[in-house]
């Protein structure tokens, strides 16, 4: 329910509402949420994100979006603002910003975009909503009335996910409580987010015209499939005035020819290949390759290889990967798929060799690190998993899955203290303090471990307990 509520809050900042002049709100947002409070709210949101089945957990998709987002954030007006990006598995074309710099992107948006600059234009717009503190300013303006409306809408969204018919009455009630007033207010921020987002986009080296092209695509959006969320939350009309305003600004910037990023095309094909049945995915990619209906042949063949693997046609998948290795630009994404094919076709020795070769070329690519660590566990070689993860963990100190892999490896070795300690750190990085404390308590009670290890566990347990008590005291205020 919490995740639905925070997700609902975000839709008020979806990138396609209306454009008006920004009102002078002064510093009223500071009266509602301080920066520290925003960060605490962001942690709560990220906890729900980590636990939600609606979120894409594919590390290659996650890292692609994070790298793109971080590139844009480097040119944002507020360099101190922290950002976190995640992907929602939803076919509707949408993206949203939430309190504390948490930004979500629907898979439908990635599929609808024609190039990386179009995706970047959306992210730049959402980053601008955060840096301009639009959400906190809205809450400051609306005060308690806003919270009641948001709560009602959250209930409607939650019910709609399960049964759209049952949600109709709830949505009507929520509308009666002032939904239109909320939307009227949020429209005032769109022009500023467009302007600041466009500046971020161009400063980061992307094509500013992509914002206009994507706006135009969305105006013609009937050709895109719709998601499962209520149309009230899904539909955000775009005015011709808003498009014209961006066009006028873009005319003042020099033209740039931005080549397509192969990673974007591969990620898009990966998402497409996971839609529908394995046979329908195969038919789509085979047809586009046969008729040459593609922008990039390599990404189509990559998608076809994934579709073949879904259908357990491993020889055909191998043929496509061999084509990619011979004809496409070298890529960690291709190497990772090649290793996964060896695993899927029950060739463990070849998979091991592929992972090791690929990691020598791309030593910090998380998809390969995950794959090799999992492969060592499958081969009952936990000590190699531990060595690999400990070698990479400083590069990704907030990666909960690294600690989960360590916990599984220590469990295989029968090392209880280290198993529970690692699992605790995994939960902590999923923003679940209660579970983190429970696991660390088990680590403290374990019979193994030396004096040094026990001291670390006991000290860490005190830290976690103090942090949890501090959070609880804030909740009671």
pLDDT in tens, 14-49: 433 322 333 343 444 555 567 777 777 778 778 878
Q: Any idea which of 76-85, 93-102, 103-112 has the lowest mean pLDDT?
A: 93-102
Is 421 a domain residue? yes
Number of other residues whose CB lies within 10 A of the CB of residue 353:
13
> Of the residues 250, 281, 305, which one is the last residue of a structural domain?
250
Kindly report the pTM of this predicted structure. 0.83
- Return mean pLDDT, the chain: 81
**Domain coverage including residue 398:** 380-477
- The count of structural domains within the chain is 2
Is 99 a domain residue? yes
Number of other residues whose CB lies within 10 A of the CB of residue 361:
11
221 confidence band (pLDDT: 50, 70, 90): low
Q: Which of 391, 341, 336 is nearest to 368 (CA)?
A: 336
Number of other residues whose CB lies within 10 A of the CB of residue 404:
18
> Of the residues 250, 278, 298, which one is the last residue of a structural domain?
250
> CB–CB of 156/171 below 8 Å?
yes
Q: Any idea which of 17-21, 89-93, 273-277 has the lowest mean pLDDT?
A: 17-21
Q: Any idea which of 221-235, 243-257, 314-328 has the lowest mean pLDDT?
A: 221-235
Q: Any idea which of 228-232, 412-416, 448-452 has the lowest mean pLDDT?
A: 228-232
Q: How far is CA 339 from CA 84, 177, 332, in A?
A: 29, 54, 11
Is 153 a domain residue? yes
> CB–CB of 54/104 below 8 Å?
no
Q: Which of 171, 191, 160, 146 is nearest to 21 (CA)?
A: 191
Is 160 a domain residue? yes
Is 76 a domain residue? yes
> Of the residues 189, 221, 250, which one is the last residue of a structural domain?
250
86 strand-pairing partners: 104
Is 306 a domain residue? no
185 confidence band (pLDDT: 50, 70, 90): very low
Is 232 a domain residue? yes
Is 155 a domain residue? yes
Instruction: Answer whether residue 154 shows pLDDT above 50.
Output: no
187 confidence band (pLDDT: 50, 70, 90): low
Number of other residues whose CB lies within 10 A of the CB of residue 215:
21
pLDDT at 192: 85
């Amino acid at each position: 329910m919490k995740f639905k509520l925070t997700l609902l809050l975000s839709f008020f900042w979806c990138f396609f509402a209306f454009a008006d002049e920004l009102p002078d709100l002064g510093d009223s947002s500071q009266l509602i949420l301080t920066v520290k409070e925003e960060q605490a709210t962001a942690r709560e949101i990220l906890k729900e994100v980590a636990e939600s089945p609606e979120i894409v957990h594919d590390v290659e998709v996650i890292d692609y979006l994070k790298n793109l987002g971080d590139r844009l954030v480097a040119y944002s007006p507020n360099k101190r603002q922290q950002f976190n990006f995640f992907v929602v598995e939803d076919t509707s074309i949408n993206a949203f910003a939430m309190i504390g710099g948490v930004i979500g992107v629907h898979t439908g948006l990635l599929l609808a975009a024609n190039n990386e600059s179009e995706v970047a234009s959306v992210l730049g717009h959402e980053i601008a909503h955060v840096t301009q503190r639009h959400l906190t300013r809205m809450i400051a303006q609306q005060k308690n009335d806003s919270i009641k409306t948001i709560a009602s809408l959250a209930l409607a969204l939650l019910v709609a996910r399960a049964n759209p018919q049952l949600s109709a009455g709830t949505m009507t009630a929520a509308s009666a409580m002032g939904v239109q007033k909320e939307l009227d207010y949020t429209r005032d921020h769109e022009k500023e987010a467009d302007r600041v987002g466009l500046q971020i986009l161009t400063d980061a080296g992307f094509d500013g015209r992509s914002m206009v092209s994507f706006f135009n695509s969305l105006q013609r959006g009937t050709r895109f499939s719709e998601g499962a969320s209520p149309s009230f939350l899904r539909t955000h009309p775009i005015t011709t005035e808003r498009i014209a305003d961006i066009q006028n600004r873009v005319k003042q910037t020099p033209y740039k020819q931005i080549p397509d990023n192969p990673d974007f095309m591969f990620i898009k094909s990966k998402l497409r290949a996971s839609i529908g049945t394995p046979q329908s995915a195969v038919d789509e990619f085979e047809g586009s390759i046969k008729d040459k209906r593609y922008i990039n042949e390599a990404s189509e063949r990559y998608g076809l290889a994934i579709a073949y693997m879904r259908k357990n046609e491993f020889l055909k998948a191998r043929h496509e990967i061999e084509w990619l290795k011979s004809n496409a630009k070298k890529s960690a994404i291709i190497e990772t798929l090649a290793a996964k094919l060896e695993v899927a076709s029950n060739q463990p020795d070849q998979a091991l060799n592929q992972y090791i070769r690929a990691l020598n070329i791309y030593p910090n690519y998380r998809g390969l690190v995950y794959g090799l660590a999992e492969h060592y566990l499958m081969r009952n070689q936990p000590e190699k998993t531990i060595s690999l993860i400990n070698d990479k963990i400083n590069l990704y100190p907030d990666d909960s899955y690294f600690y989960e892999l360590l916990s599984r490896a220590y469990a295989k070795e029968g090392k209880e203290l280290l198993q529970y300690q690692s699992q605790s750190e995994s939960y902590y990085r999923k923003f679940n303090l209660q579970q983190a404390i429970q696991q660390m308590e088990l680590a403290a009670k374990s019979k193994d471990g030396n004096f040094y290890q026990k001291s670390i566990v006991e000290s860490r347990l005190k830290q976690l307990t103090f942090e949890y008590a501090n959070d609880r005291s804030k909740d009671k205020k």
